[in-house]
Amino acid sequence: MPNPILSMAGTWAEPLTFAAMLACFGLLSVAARWPIGMALIAAAWAGAALNGEYFPLRHMVEGAFSYFDPILIIATAMIFMRVLADGGALGAIGAAVERRFGSRPALLLPVVMLIIMFPGMITGSSTASVITTGSVAASMIGSLGLSRERVAALIAMGGVLGMVAPPVNIPAMIIGGGIDLPYTGFALPLAAASFPLAGIVAYLLAWPALRNKDRRNAPGYRPPVQGSGSSISGSRALVAPLVAALFMLAPRLMPEHIADPGLPLVFVCAGVAGILTLPGFAVLPSLLRATEECLPVLGILCGVGSFIQVMTLTGARGWLVSLMTGAPSWALLLAAGASLPLFGAVSAFGSASVLGVPFLLAFLGRNEIVTTAALSLLTALGDLMLPAALAATLAAQVAGAPDRLRVLRLCIVPALLTIAAAIAMLFFAPELGRWLGT
């Protein structure tokens, strides 16, 4: 039976439920420092209990499995990346790039940015980029004379933009899943949202190094690490990534002859190829480490699913959507630019589901694919927001920067550029959709 307090609240029942769920989530995740996934599940149960569903087991389990496909993608992609890192392939690729472009920083920077972004592009997680290729990138650009804080800011922004870039964008999957929008046709919009920004950010943060001709006398100069990855040839290091690329591209090039195996199977096959071709390393500990690294993200996705399921059950989701659809378009653009990154301070995936889906419903009819890509760009910035500032915190540790707040200050201008680009995409979504052919 419904809670008597909410019964008396009348039309205020849904907003009160939503506020209670957010308050419970905030208290548990920030004050009590619970894991984000557990805090989301507890907040979902609190919202259900307020509405008379004291044992909402069916809804909690059904919601937890809402994002089963992204969960499989993240788990298998993280194993693939750990195989590349522990097998020495990432180090070998980094060393080859440094030998080729080390004396030409203007060419080195975009290549390094792509290397930083790569793990995020296939896992949908900025954390994966920072903790796998972040250290490789730090050693590669140390010879440019950048301060450790600038190196960390570059790695953090690369991780965030890699989270947005194709082929895997988990926030876009979550937002699109809210209106049953298939995750197809996103490659060009996501590429337009991420790659140009990545190039601009790379040159913006590394401008002092590009301007300084005598880099060896720069305060942040660190000589390049010699022999990194020298025990592995470039061809062996590229086998596993090429297997992944082949499995992804073949069904798109010849759809009438080759079935799409799905991203989880693609990463499993590429991981096996890496294990077979890379020098011997402890495979089981590597797999266990990959599982340990991705469990927090998987827990968040389960919690997000339960949270959204209970919001739908109690009517809070419908109330939020109706509130947004009645607002003027200019207010929606400003609200999206501010609220999605700020809510992402707790969880970028939570921001995508709790706010991203209602914003997409409010923008229906303005090319949903481009709109979803722009909203995912805003949610990804949550990994730079305090108190957690996960991308910046981990990047500071990887680059050896002692003060993460200085790293965050360097990320302010790139983050504002990212917000401006996302708002522009939202405003011109119909025109961009026609231009990109979506």
Domain boundaries of the chain, sorted by first residue? 14-436
> Omega of the bond prior to 2 within 30 degrees of 0, cis?
no
CB atoms within 10 A of CB 40: 35
User: Position of tokens 């708002």?
Assistant: 423
Separation CA 323–CA 339 (nearest Å): 15
Q: Is residue 358 within 8 Å of residue 324, measured between CB atoms?
A: yes
> Omega of the bond prior to 4 within 30 degrees of 0, cis?
no
Sign of CA dihedral 287, 292, 293, 299: positive
Q: Is residue 95 within 8 Å of residue 230, measured between CB atoms?
A: yes
pLDDT tens-digit series, residues 285-329:
989 998 888 888 788 888 888 888 888 888 887 787 777 767 787
pLDDT at 129: 84
Please report, in tens digits, the pLDDT of each residue of the chain (438 residues total).
455 555 555 567 888 888 898 889 888 887 888 888 888 899 999 999 988 888 888 888 988 888 788 888 888 888 988 898 888 888 888 788 877 776 677 788 888 899 899 888 988 888 888 888 887 888 777 767 788 899 999 999 999 999 999 988 999 998 998 888 888 889 999 999 999 999 999 999 988 766 665 555 555 555 554 444 446 766 788 888 899 889 888 887 888 888 888 888 998 999 999 999 888 778 889 899 988 888 887 888 888 888 888 888 888 877 877 777 677 878 889 888 988 998 777 678 878 887 888 899 888 888 999 999 999 999 999 889 876 677 888 888 888 888 888 999 999 999 999 999 999 999 999 999 999 887
Q: What token pair was written down for 292?
A: 């340990």
Q: Is 53 left (phi over 0), alpha (psi -120 to 50) or beta?
A: beta
81-99 b/e (C-beta count within 10 Å ≥ 16 → b): bbbbbbbbbbbbbbbbbbe
Q: Is residue 105 within 8 Å of residue 210, measured between CB atoms?
A: yes
Mapped onto helix, strand or coil, the DSSP state of residue 385 is: coil
As to burial, measured by CB atoms within 10 angstroms (0-12 exposed, 13-18 middle, 19+ buried), residue 53 is buried
